[in-house]
Structure 1
Amino acid sequence: MVAYRYLGHSGLKITEITYGNWITHGSQVENDTAVQTVHAALDLGITSFDTADVYANTAAESVLGAALKGLRRESLEIFTKVYWPIGPKGANDAGLSRKHIHDAIHGSLRRLGTDYVDLYQAHRFDYETPLEETMQTFADLVRQGKVLYIGVSEWTAPQLRAGHALAKELGIQLVSNQPQYSGLWRVIEEEVVPTSRDLGISQIVWSPLAQGVLTGKYLPGAPLPAGSRAADERTGVRPRIEDFMTDEILTAVQKLRPIAEESGLSIAQLALAWVLHNDNVAATIVGASRPEQLAETVKASDVTLGDDQVAAIDEALLPVAVTDPALTYEISSKTRPAARGPEARQPVPQTA
């Protein structure tokens, strides 16, 4: 069964393999299959589920809510997020203003079919809203019982310090950050992780397999496998995959194969275990388009890597990994991504 870890400096435990539905539910996967996959996750011991209102333009939350309907709410940990524009995408349909957070949480609760979420996350930093306004609104939601804990996603180290200080002043807990993190994308290691350790904030990481590149299924100089994410233009994430699809990177990933085989693991399991080796990581988010995929994924929860294995993985990947901490400052837009007009009513692919 999947192991649990504490989330930040709190008493909340979450499963270190957390199920996420960014590009699957409501878009890539039929609803019946999505429900079956959620139930497979539960059977394997996953009780933590991560979503966001923007995923499939709110459809992902609705699918997850339907899949969890009738289950004992106290046995689940449900996370969602606010920031990106949804609906008609007007002037106040994005960001972290009191108005947008108020509207967003009630929409999320309705779609998820629950009275509260365990973790409510600021999906990006909002430069257009005073941080005091955002944190005060989060504090009000905690006191109303609609949110239990507060988290953020892709915040810089100074932003984490400022948010944590305000949260403490308001008597609430900022317990998590949700960044991209993998053996190939390591920009949080130099500043964000040390700051988070100091503050008692955990990482709940997304894209631990670098959009599937760290499964080892993409080979240098070979055609893209049929049905793979890199070959699928519908998901809206193909450009991000292409960043990792250089021959240099793909060759480096293949160096993991003997390390994995010696450990009795797949390359994907090895890559997930590497992420979980970081003691500041409370959970790694995984997705699945079919129930049977999860049975192999969750085996990474039973793996403890030795120092020699970690060193061998780093020797293979670090020369091609992205490590510049300055990139964390470029992730959140300096202006809200809101738009008007009929074209804005179409779902816009977003990052996790």
Structure 2
Amino acid sequence: MEYRQLGGSGFKVPALTLGTGTFGGGTEFFKEWGASDVAEASRLIDISLENGLTMFDTADIYSDGMAEEILGAAIKGRRDQVLISTKGTFRLGEGPNNVGSSRWHLIRSVENSLKRLGTDYIDLYQLHGFDAMTPVEEVMNTLDDLVRAGKIRYIGASNFSGWQLMKAQAYAEKFNLSRHVANQTYYSLIGRDYEWELMPLGLDQKIGAVVWSPLGWGRLTGKIRRNQPRPETSRLNYTLSNQYGPQVDDEYLYTVVDALDEVAGETGKSVPQVALNWLLQRPTVSTVIIGARNEEQLRQNLGAVGWNLTTEQVAKLDAASDKPKTYPYWHQVGFDERNPFPVK
């Protein structure tokens, strides 16, 4: 397993991270993802560690805390072998303060995550979303206090826009506080919006991308193709997943899958392995979060590392997945001499 720097920090993370959204299945939404119990989660972690994948990503809202509990039980006795990434900000519980990034909620969220995970520190803690109702100084000072208290090692953000993330970085830099070194972001061959603003920001501010849903919300598994029925087991078959996941035009998806099929044939790899490997060659990407309902899916995704697509194959996938940029990015492309995009 390749290890990479997490943004501008001295912290190294594996190129692949195992996501735990499939642990528990404690709510209707997450039941659509999977429902691994402690025994199955332990087996998935065993396989991960055998292959050098040591980082596991979760969040307090995954199955209302059940995913953190199962992860904590599955790593019991081997905490020193693993890296834990978790998140907080979204609502968990009733009451006006059980949501957001206020000092009250962040401290409570971290303390509760520590208990569920059965640990006294979190390697990477990320704000799950931007809270416009809490002043940036309150958020960043609270995170810095938690770092100084030893409860968090590194901090990151998730689902922020460029200005939101930059505002937080500027405040932290001005007052010498802990800065975001990670941006847990949606990025895939059929979801390349990250490249327009957040990737240049990541390069400038040394913020590493922790990629979620790298297979485009289950669309790049190799099971969805033109003129074929959708597989029986897919999150795309469920109303909640379709409601909250990214929307993708069918014809665009089929064009990308056609290119993936072609490259898969050239490399002898599977469609998801090619899609994951493409991401691993993009600027700023520190780690890609893979999901697995079972052992077979995990082993399949682990095959995305240890090799690289050729320059020609990357260009083929780039061309198939390219889309017109929104303003001001289409305008900035014309000023490439002084304002080059990191990805062509």
Give the Cα–Cα distance (whole angstroms) in 2 for the partners of residues 315 and 325 of structure 1: 20
SS in 2 for 1:197: helix
Structure 1 residues 305 and 18: CA distance shift in structure 2, 3 A: same
SS in 2 for 1:211: coil
Verify: 1:93 aligned to 2:98, yes or no. yes
Residue 292 of structure 1: which of 296, 302, 310 is its match?
A: 296
Structure 1 residues 325 and 35: CA distance shift in structure 2, 3 A: farther
Verify: 1:11 aligned to 2:10, yes or no. yes
Q: How many aligned positions are there?
A: 320
SS in 1 for 2:297: helix
Given residue 272 of structure 1, which amino acid in structure 2 is its aligned partner? L
Which residue of structure 2 aligns with residue 164 of structure 1?
169
Give the Cα–Cα distance (whole angstroms) in 2 for the partners of residues 99 and 162 of structure 1: 21
Which residue of structure 2 aligns with residue 102 of structure 1?
107
Which residue of structure 2 aligns with residue 49 of structure 1?
56
Verify: 1:317 aligned to 2:324, yes or no. no
Structure 1 residues 310 and 167: CA distance shift in structure 2, 3 A: same
Given residue 20 of structure 2, which amino acid in structure 1 is its aligned partner? N
Given residue 122 of structure 1, which amino acid in structure 2 is its aligned partner? L
Structure number with higher relative contact order (C-alpha < 8 Å, ≥ 6 residues apart) = 1
Give the Cα–Cα distance (whole angstroms) in 2 for the partners of residues 242 and 70 of structure 1: 38
Structure 1 residues 274 and 75: CA distance shift in structure 2, 3 A: same
User: 1:1-352 to 2 correspondence within 5 Å?
Assistant: 2-26=1-25, 27=31, 28-31=34-37, 32-71=39-78, 73-88=79-94, 90-168=95-173, 169-233=175-239, 236-239=240-243, 243-244=247-248, 246-319=250-323, 324=326
Give the Cα–Cα distance (whole angstroms) in 2 for the partners of residues 285 and 202 of structure 1: 13
SS in 2 for 1:120: strand
1:29 positional shift: 1.7
1:229 positional shift: 2.3
Given residue 15 of structure 1, which amino acid in structure 2 is its aligned partner? P
For structure 1, list consecutive stretches of 5 or more residues without a partner in the other structure. Answer: 327-352
1:170 positional shift: 3.4
SS in 1 for 2:217: helix
SS in 2 for 1:152: strand
Given residue 297 of structure 2, which amino acid in structure 1 is its aligned partner? Q
Decide which moves more: 191-200 or 109-118: 191-200
Give the Cα–Cα distance (whole angstroms) in 1 for the partners of residues 74 and 326 of structure 2: 39
Give the Cα–Cα distance (whole angstroms) in 2 for the partners of residues 97 and 206 of structure 1: 25
Normalised by the length of structure 2, the TM-score is: 0.88
1:251 positional shift: 4.1
Normalised by the length of structure 1, the TM-score is: 0.86
- 1:243-288 CA distance string (max 9 Å, x none): 2362442243123212111012111011001111113000010110
Give aligned-pair identity as a percent: 39
Alpha-carbon RMSD across the aligned residues, in angstroms, is 2.0
Decide which moves more: 187-196 or 218-227: 218-227
1:230 positional shift: 2.0
1:232 positional shift: 4.3
Give the Cα–Cα distance (whole angstroms) in 1 for the partners of residues 179 and 164 of structure 2: 15
1:211 positional shift: 1.3
